Every structure is written in C-alpha cells, then in structure tokens.
Amino acid sequence: MSGDTAVEAQLTAREEGGVLWLTLDRPEAGNALTPAQRDRLVGLLQEASARVATRVVVLTATGRHFCTGADLRASQGTPTHPDGVPERVVGDIGRVIATGAQRLVSAVLDCEKPVIAAVNGTAAGIGAHLALACDLVLAAEGARFVEVFVRRGLVPDGGGAWLLPRLVGLQRAKELMFLGDALSAADAERYGLVNRVVPADDLVAEATVWATRLAAGPTRALAATKALLNRSLDTDRSSAFREEALAQELNMATHDANEGVAAFVERRDPAYRGW
C-alpha cells in the first residue's frame, strides 16, 4: 500500500513512510459513521497490525467534523425472523453494538501499532469514543467532544463508560455523560482527554511530526508497551509485573531491542527496522 491511496466506503487509506493515514470522508454528513465505514476501519486496523511495513496509524477526517457519531439512518443489517416474530427481539440491539461500535473501539485498542487521532472538528458519540480510544490525541483548536447519548435518551456505547473514567476519573466522566455538554478542545486538554491542541492549519503537520517519529521507533517494543498500559488498570500488581517481565523477555528477541542496546553501547543513534 506504500505511497498508494485507496478509497472505499467513503474512507481514504494512504500509506507513506510507514504511516497509514485513515481519513473519514463524508463531510456532507458530518462524517457520521456508516456500517460499511466502520467495518472497513476495523479491517484496515487489523491489517495494520499484521503489516510489518506499517508502523503507525493516523486517524483523521475531512471537513468541519471528525465524526458526529453513528449514522442512525444507515441499515444495520438486522436478522430476518420467522413469521409471527417481532421485527426486533431482545438481543438484536446488543448484538449490533457488540459487533459494531464495540468492535471498532476494540480494533483501535488492540491494534499493535500506535494510533494517533488528529481530531479536526466535532467528535460526538461513537466519534468521541473512536478518538479517545487512540493512543495519542491531537485536536484542532475548534474541535469539540460531545457525549451526545443522553441527548438522544440512549446509554453510552462503543466502550465509552469503560474508556472515559480511565481518562478523566469517575466524577468527571459522570458529569460529561449525564449532562452531554460539548467539551472544547482546550477543556479536553485540561481534563487529560487530549495530548495537545494546535491551530487547525497545523493539525496535519503536527500529526505528521508525531507519526514520523513513531514510525522510526522500535515498533514491537511500542506494541508491547501499548498492551501493558492498556491492561494496567484492570490487573493486580503481581500479574502486571509478570506480564512486564514476559514482554521484555519476548522483546529482547527482536532486532530493534538488540539494535537499541548496541547503539547505546556504541554511542550512536539507533536504526530501528520495526521487527
């Protein structure tokens, strides 16, 4: 895929220099996420894990919005029931959430490559959770984050009730989810949801700087570090220490770990290859 641009389901995928750029491209619909876009994103993130040439992923969007949530008008592919059975039965919606929004957020969290969100505008509902699941979040000054579910009489989905307390604490998460108020990029940075806020015109350039730096790093060590950090709040100390030791044991079998140590001893810059 290197140097090529592929467009499918109104989602652009372009890879260059080890950086895979995934761009939501439905500006006329606020980049509301269709099932086809969602499934394509999941597939591309899974492919990124397996592709040695891919070393970092950047997720962004065109237009004024990052992602205004799920496109509720798009077909969700509900199953066909026998005659006499209601069109929707208990279990149908939960299955759609599990195989849809939750699968998408899991694909970001489980991607073995660092994922950067370059949030160009409003991130609402699953759009907010998609951004917050990323490893690093850059936001344009005019970006906003909205836990919009309460406004629609809905329960947060897409892993939001799991993600948000881990990022901002329980009380702040309740405030954001109970009230559903839009959070400015500056406040999101202050709350710890965003790593850095930049002028809109500088967003792509800043994301490129971060992505380029990560693409030149020890990819497998970054993957192991991401996995350890993502599990850190859900495990006890003894288990975490065992996982850390095992991760370092496995990582020392990589080219990059040996290159990093050799470069330190030889007092030179390391040349990481990503494996």
Q: Do residues 65 and 101 both lie within one domain?
A: yes
Q: Do residues 160 and 259 both lie within one domain?
A: no
Q: Do residues 225 and 177 both lie within one domain?
A: no
- 273, part of any domain: no
Q: Is 134 left (phi over 0), alpha (psi -120 to 50) or beta?
A: beta
The distance between the two most distant Cα atoms of the chain, rounded to a whole number of Å, is 76
- 275, part of any domain: no
Q: Do residues 183 and 251 both lie within one domain?
A: no
Q: Do residues 179 and 145 both lie within one domain?
A: yes
CB of 14 within 8 A of CB of 62?
A: no
How large is the angle between the packed helices 101-110 and 92-99, nearest 10 degrees? 30
Confidence of residue 74 (pLDDT cuts 50, 70, 90): confident
Q: Which residue range is the domain that position 123 belongs to?
A: 5-215
Q: Do residues 195 and 224 both lie within one domain?
A: no
- Tell me the β-bridge partners of 184: 144
CATH code at 248? Answer: 1.10.12
Give the start-end residues of each E strand in 18-151.
19-24, 56-61, 65-67, 115-119, 122-124, 136-140, 144-146
- 229, part of any domain: yes
Q: Do residues 33 and 104 both lie within one domain?
A: yes
In the sheet where 144-146 sits, what is the strand order? 65-67, 122-124, 144-146, 182-184
CATH code at 208? Answer: 3.90.226.10
With 60 as the cut, is the pLDDT of residue 137 above it? yes
pLDDT in tens, 213-236: 999 999 999 999 999 999 999 999
- Full-model pTM: 0.93
Q: Do residues 209 and 231 both lie within one domain?
A: no
Q: Do residues 130 and 231 both lie within one domain?
A: no
pLDDT in tens, 203-213: 999 999 999 99
Alpha helix locations (H) across 111-202? 126-132, 160-168, 170-179, 185-191
- 150, part of any domain: yes
122-131: b (≥16 Cβ within 10 Å) or e: bbbbbbbbbb
Q: Do residues 150 and 64 both lie within one domain?
A: yes
- 200, part of any domain: yes
- 142, part of any domain: yes
Q: Do residues 148 and 255 both lie within one domain?
A: no
Q: How far apart are CA 101 and CA 159, in angstroms?
A: 8
pLDDT in tens, 138-170: 999 999 999 999 999 999 999 999 999 999 999
- 100, part of any domain: yes
What's the domain count of the chain? Answer: 2
Q: How far apart are CA 159 and CA 106, in angstroms?
A: 8
- 270, part of any domain: no
